[in-house]
Structure 1
């Protein structure tokens, strides 16, 4: 049995920009536009401001996407923290979930430092998505107590290995050095959630950059980080299905991932859609929510999700998200400004959440949710099976641009981002920092 690190490292050597189809190239651009948008929206968030105070402790020449110079690994950490903080960047749901565009934090930090081209960035991104998606198809980590950012780390290391044009041995070492020392625990996402909900991805990004740079310099890592005696599969994921790496070809798995329309955890995207659609009259007396296992166990698992006291918990709280949307008929970043709003708190107490086996069976191809709202004037119900932004119901380019502009993006930046294959990464990052 060949170690996945070796399989991936070998794969990297045989894929070039010319292997990418037009749909994949355009989707990479859409995801970069989306990532810059959500990073902009998080500029003044408390953990980003706190991280900014540390920039001077990590001197270097890597330019962050908001204009600071620091070391490449801390630049990756800082960039990714911005991209992830709002919980508004893209998602993939399979045996394990992932937010694959988290890797842009690392790719922009390294790509700008090493003067890589837009085509280099597009290719590295497509490969990173391919690796990340296939890893998520191989096994569940959350049920074992480990976090999805372990797969982000490997995918980002692979993307960086391609971006830096590492040979097969160095690419394998980059992957090995990313996963062996840095296994992340699921405790990050249990109960009341802290700033580390987003910080975990930032740390994975930072680790991947440092690992790739070590490998580029010639530092070696264990040859069998997955299948070795004390490797990832041996200790954590014995059921990992390596058949997911069969038939590796032109990377197109990015087309199976989803963009978020609302700033909530992905299992709640359809909840916002369906809550917005219900035009009820009278005073609400009860709300019955029918959905699938993952939505219930992730977004309504503990008492904290019924009484959120942090933004990080609220955007992972199905009761809060549904109550807020039923009252306000929309949900945007300001939904988390007043978590003690008595109207929302009172309505949460009237919400009942049930798992429907039929819904669980169709997950993740569909993400169904049904709301039944009981009021003093009647009963109102509706169902959404696939939210807007899902690969089966994708957002249009115009909708992606609208999200970018609503999150303080500039139209002139859009022109540069859509023309990514014709610009240098350093030129792109400098342009973003001037806006």
Structure 2
């Protein structure tokens, strides 16, 4: 643990590097990764367009009118950049299908990219500008999350305190990204981050007991990112010790803890961006290995009728999210609640789903209330598993023990998540995911054109054409 009282100016150091970076400084793997994440997140925005919460976010974003500066993805409307950032951030995170950085356990793309998209479209920036700003923001988001991660305890202190690291770190990262996009000097980038730190917020109680507020967290963070950068450019300043100060960001959110090396070491040279995990399934990432176990059980011929009991072993810190209160997790009332239920995802995967194993239609309200799934869920327990604890949070593993009537006990271990560096999704799988998601909003003949635009993002003089292409 770093002695925060002996350090100053961390945000200034990060801002110095961010301001100096150019597109040609980015490794090819980073450029490719940003393109993949741009396409992935646009697909998620398109798929989420018709959710009731998305309609609420759109009504909120358009209520006050304003200059038509940027598109809301998948809608025939342009709104002020801050409003577009909010709406697209809500869309991006609403399906719990967006990427995850480990072991910080936050979702970098959903708060950062919508902020960069909105500012880049408003200011008619190039594809190279968008990629560079996105890379800066994603990397900064990962590092802020890791600076609050206690390696000795193996846990994020943000989450331990009930805080949503994604929106909290994402707001600051988005501000730095947008300020860099605008060509701001180091002092102004640092000010933007310092301003955003006073806006960053989010608690995760809704994961446990319900409520849709979490869906707006990334929208609010993206809005804050654009707003803070604009305020900094206008002349508002932030504290130079905003991160490490006695009353700074980390003191406020995680107490007297700050891993300065995780935050600062190699920024701009060593990149975490390519290693951010893509999600193959539209559910809380803690459930993914459970889904894989359910798929494996089905492939082995295990059936729900033959099961007497299932014990799902996961890492201890994740039990509160996917297994508690167990009565709620065994009987989710909505598809959204089902996304955070280990009993549900196992039952659904065992029965068989779409997409890459389970797809969006498998998390409908109707499926959450399916009598067959509910009957099996009543026979499922979720417990902490020592083997999973040793691996978490570098992976979100699961050890599933199935007591059957006809074949005794079947044990299935899934210790590595699909979509990460050790088990990456193929280009075909990522394309399938985008096509499935975008196809919920756009006709099939439009999807290929968007893919071509994003694949050629670095060659675009004005990124507005990408977002124009998503209009229904």
- Alignment TM-score, normalising by the size of structure 2: 0.87
Q: Pick the aligned partner of 1:246 from 259, 265, 269.
A: 265
Measured after TM superposition, the shift of residue 310 of structure 1 is 3.0
Which residue pairs with 1:432 in the alignment?
Answer: 470
Which residue pairs with 1:224 in the alignment?
Answer: 241
Measured after TM superposition, the shift of residue 96 of structure 1 is 4.4
Q: Pick the aligned partner of 1:280 from 290, 302, 307.
A: 302
Q: Out of 180-189 and 417-426, give the one that drifted further.
A: 180-189
Ranges in structure 1 where 5+ consecutive residues have no aligned partner: none
User: What aligned pairs does 1:96-135 form with structure 2 within 5 A after superposition?
Assistant: 96-135=105-144
What are the Cα deviations for residues 281-301 of structure 1, in whole angstroms up to 9, with x where unaligned? 452211111221233232112
Which residue pairs with 2:458 in the alignment?
Answer: 421
Answering whether residue 224 of structure 2 is matched by residue 204 of structure 1, we say no
Measured after TM superposition, the shift of residue 184 of structure 1 is 2.8
C-alpha contact 2:399 2:413 (8 A) present in aligned 1:
yes
Q: Pick the aligned partner of 1:171 from 189, 192, 195.
A: 189
C-alpha contact 2:179 2:229 (8 A) present in aligned 1:
yes
Q: Pick the aligned partner of 2:448 from 387, 411, 417.
A: 411
Q: Out of 101-110 and 200-209, give the one that drifted further.
A: 101-110
Measured after TM superposition, the shift of residue 98 of structure 1 is 2.9
Measured after TM superposition, the shift of residue 108 of structure 1 is 0.9
Q: Pick the aligned partner of 1:4 from 3, 7, 10.
A: 10
Answering whether residue 91 of structure 2 is matched by residue 62 of structure 1, we say no
What are the Cα deviations for residues 388-412 of structure 1, in whole angstroms up to 9, with x where unaligned? 2122111111111111111135012
What are the Cα deviations for residues 34-88 of structure 1, in whole angstroms up to 9, with x where unaligned? 1011111111011111222231423222222233111111110101111111111
Ranges in structure 2 where 5+ consecutive residues have no aligned partner: 1-6, 149-156, 440-446
Partner SS, residue 401 of structure 2: strand
Question: CA separation in 1, counterparts of 2:291 and 2:108?
Answer: 19
C-alpha contact 2:286 2:318 (8 A) present in aligned 1:
yes
Which residue pairs with 2:98 in the alignment?
Answer: 89
Partner SS, residue 394 of structure 1: coil
Which residue pairs with 2:443 in the alignment?
Answer: none
Q: Out of 306-315 and 7-16, give the one that drifted further.
A: 306-315
- Alignment TM-score, normalising by the size of structure 1: 0.95
Q: Out of 333-342 and 148-157, give the one that drifted further.
A: 333-342
Question: CA separation in 2, counterparts of 1:408 and 1:146?
Answer: 31
Q: Pick the aligned partner of 2:425 from 392, 395, 401.
A: 395
C-alpha contact 2:111 2:222 (8 A) present in aligned 1:
yes
Q: Out of 162-171 and 362-371, give the one that drifted further.
A: 362-371
Question: CA separation in 2, counterparts of 1:383 and 1:354?
Answer: 14
Question: CA separation in 1, counterparts of 2:41 and 2:346?
Answer: 25
Measured after TM superposition, the shift of residue 275 of structure 1 is 0.5
Moved over 6 A (4+): none
C-alpha contact 1:56 1:70 (8 A) present in aligned 2:
no
Partner SS, residue 348 of structure 2: helix
C-alpha contact 2:49 2:91 (8 A) present in aligned 1:
yes
C-alpha contact 1:63 1:109 (8 A) present in aligned 2:
yes
Which residue pairs with 1:153 in the alignment?
Answer: 171
Q: Pick the aligned partner of 2:49 from 43, 54, 66.
A: 43
Measured after TM superposition, the shift of residue 150 of structure 1 is 0.6
C-alpha contact 2:111 2:171 (8 A) present in aligned 1:
no
Which residue pairs with 1:373 in the alignment?
Answer: 402
Question: CA separation in 2, counterparts of 1:235 and 1:182?
Answer: 11
Answering whether residue 157 of structure 2 is matched by residue 138 of structure 1, we say no
Question: CA separation in 2, counterparts of 1:311 and 1:240?
Answer: 37
Question: CA separation in 1, counterparts of 2:434 and 2:373?
Answer: 28
Q: Out of 76-85 and 221-230, give the one that drifted further.
A: 221-230
Q: Pick the aligned partner of 1:328 from 326, 349, 352.
A: 352
Question: CA separation in 2, counterparts of 1:78 and 1:366?
Answer: 31
Paired residues in the alignment total: 433
Which residue pairs with 1:270 in the alignment?
Answer: 289
